[in-house]
Amino acid sequence: MAPRPDGVSLQRWLYDELRAAILSGRLPPGARLPSTRDLAARFELSRGTVLGAFAQLDAEGYLAGAVGRGSFVAAELPDRRIDRGDRGEPTSIKKRDGRSSVRESKSKNKSKDDDSGAQRPAVVLSNRGRLLARSAFQLSGRSIPARAFRASQPDLDAFPFELWARIAAKRARRTRRDLLGDGEAQGYRPLREAIAGYVGMSRGIACSADHVVMLGSVQQAIDLAARLLLDPGDAAWIEDPGYVGARFVLEAAGARVIGVPVDPGGLDVEWARRHAPDARLAFVTAGRQAPLGPPLALERRLSLLEWAHERGAVIIEDDYDSEYRFAGNPLAALKSLDDDGHVIYCGTFSKLLFPALRTAYAIVPDRLVEPFVAALSLTARHVPLDQQSVLHEFIADGHFGRHIRRMRVLYGERAEALTAHVTRHLAGLLEVPPIIAGLDAPAFLPRGTDDNEVVRRAALEGIETRALSRYAVDRPAPAGLVLGFASVGVDDIASGVIALARALS
């Protein structure tokens, strides 16, 4: 028998060893086990310890035996062991052996009838599983401070986390029973009411708490909407270039994704209506097109809604960062023009407050609320109640509004700094159009530049950027970079631009 590893109780060790002996066939079906007295004496164990291990083995079906006649290995155990000899150290932890070794077989049935055992079929992903498992934009949890020019990041240092902590602590001390039990799948009602009030004021969206659904992320909203509204093969419009996370989740849901060209008016709705009028869904960043920046022009908004209205299609409006508009008020949402329930509007607190919060929401048309909530409840249950209630207090006490206003000023200064430094140091090399809103800016390289190569060279200078070409769907994207400016101070922006100039020269 193997020596007892540290931290394993005597009873557990004996149980593990006997179980391994049975499973490996060293103690075959029907074999008589040594008496508890003998075992106790041999391994210097108490009789109780041995009885405990026997009881556990008996409860789990390894043993059979009549009182007083000793214990036997159960006779019903299958002859062919599933064990393949590596049970010698039952408590050892096997190393991860090659995480990327899942075979991606397109003809996954090919070895199903091969039962000889010599060539066992590996666990293979399904066809859609391969789409689901693409890991672009996967969260790595890197905690290093933001560097110039990390994209899609709010400034964590500017977040009033002491205030947040005070509310969370107060909330924790007052935990009430009704915040321990199952929450409503749709979300904590007081929070939904606060959000309905906020989007009414800030975005012109007329809705009530009944239309708000709390979610873990905008990704989840897209995933649920796609599965609820599309059958595999149904077409969906997305902006080209556009948000890769949306494209991947739509494709994983079986959508036939149609990349629709983007120009200075945003998504070219007329192109889409001509080329793919039968789409069932459109994904659009109407407030600030990601990654190119323009808001969707008014006549296109109306045309998009008209198309959805004529076709019974649904529009997902992802409004993740147009909150931060540096001149005038945020634009009214596309959703504010949605009179007959074709727009699912999505917002997220992960970008407005801090990413670890993982709380987002959707404003869902009347007729889709019930299916949407049912699907959420079935596939995920709900967002943890605790933080919904902290977030509610943060909004209700006015801290949310204040934080947004402060950040609008701060990010505006950073956008100005970025524009000024790029103009000074990168004229002719990189063109940044006026920054009106958002956390990131597109920056265009001379036509024909390999922007992935620029990203690599910038990385050598300590600069984080993304290539615009990564956002391409059906056609090449303009050569360029996405520069995040919100999470880095003006000094870092200045030195970042100079580093970028080195990379580009």
User: What are the distances in angstroms from CA 189 to CA 118, 208, 227, 348, 381?
Assistant: 58, 10, 25, 17, 16
In the bound state with its own copies, the residue whose beta carbon lies nearer, of 343 and 417, is 343
Query: By CB under 8 A, is residue 378 in contact with its own copies?
Result: yes
* Cα separation, 59 vs 401, whole angstroms: 59
The residue within the footprint of its own copies, chosen from 4, 25, 43, 74 (CB under 8 A), is: 74
CA nearest to 251, candidates 127, 382, 432, 378: 127
Closest to 294 (Cα-Cα) out of 259, 262, 247, 317 = 262
Q: Binding residue for its own copies (CB under 8 A) from 6, 68, 274, 278?
A: 278
Residues in region 144-163 near its own copies by CB under 8 A: 145, 153, 156-157, 159, 161
Using CB under 8 A, pick the residue from 4, 147, 275, 309 that binds its own copies.
309
Taking CB under 8 A as the rule, which mask of x and - marks residues 279-308 in contact with its own copies? -x--------------x-xxx-xxx-xx--
Q: Which two structure tokens, joined as six digits, stand for 236?
A: 């969906």
Q: How far is the CB of 374 from its own copies (least distance, A)?
A: 4
CB nearer its own copies, residue 244 or residue 458: 244
Residue from 35, 46, 126, 423 in contact with its own copies (CB under 8 A): 126
Evaluate whether 302 touches 337 at the Cβ level (below 8 Å). Answer: yes
> Distance between CA 18 and CA 15 in Å, rounded?
5
- The 166-185 contact track toward its own copies, x by CB under 8 A, reads x-xx--xx-x-xxxxxxxxx
SS3 of 215, please? strand
Residue 143 binding its own copies, by CB under 8 A: yes
Please list every residue from 381 through 410 that binds its own copies, using CB under 8 A: 381-387
From the list 412, 389, 404, 438, the residue with the least C-alpha distance to 201 is: 404
Binding range to its own copies, per CB under 8 A, among 31-39, 244-252, 392-400, 420-428: 244-252
When the beta carbons of 36 and 359 are compared against its own copies, the nearer one is 359
Enumerate residues 96-125 that contact its own copies by CB under 8 A. 96-102, 111-112, 115, 117, 120-125
Q: How many residues does the chain have?
A: 505
Which residue reads 């080209």 in tokens? 240
Retrieve residue 68's tokens: 């007083």
d(CA 477, CA 290): 12
What H or E segment, with its residue span, contains residue 458? helix 451-460
Comparison of 82 and 427: residue with beta carbon closer to its own copies: 82
Q: Which member of 14, 33, 50, 249 binds its own copies (CB under 8 A)?
A: 249
Q: Are 425 and 497 in contact (CB under 8 A)?
A: yes
Quick one: 248 or 345, whose CB is closer to its own copies? Answer: 248
Q: How far is the CB of 473 from its own copies (least distance, A)?
A: 16
Please measure the distance between the N-terminal and C-terminal CA atoms of the chain and give it in whole angstroms: 68
Contact pick of 3, 6, 44, 59 for its own copies (by CB under 8 A): 59
Among 42-50, 51-59, 420-428, 439-447, the segment contacting its own copies (CB under 8 A): 51-59
State the Rg of the chain over Cα: 30
Nearer to its own copies, 180 or 409 (CB): 180
Q: Which of 3, 68, 328, 398 binds its own copies (CB under 8 A)?
A: 328
Q: Which residues pair with 317 in a beta bridge?
A: 284, 345
Residues 6+ apart with CB under 8 A from 276: 235, 237, 258, 260
Task: Give the Cα separation of 37 and 51 in Å (integer).
Answer: 9
Report the C-alpha gap between 454 and 190 in whole angstroms.
Answer: 48
Of 19 and 414, nearer to its own copies (C-beta) is 19
Q: Which stretch binds its own copies (CB under 8 A): 73-81, 400-408, 427-435, 452-460?
A: 73-81
Report the 10 Å Cβ neighbour count for 163.
14
Q: Which range, of 42-50, 332-340, 411-419, 495-503, touches its own copies by CB under 8 A?
A: 332-340
Least distance CB 137 / its own copies (angstroms): 8
Distance, in Å, from the CA atom of 295 to the CA atom of 329, rounded to the nearest integer, reads 13
Residues from 350 through 369 that contact its own copies (CB under 8 A) = 350, 354-359, 365-369
User: Residue 150 CB, nearest distance to its own copies (Å)?
Assistant: 10
- Asked if residue 234 binds its own copies (CB under 8 A), the reply is yes
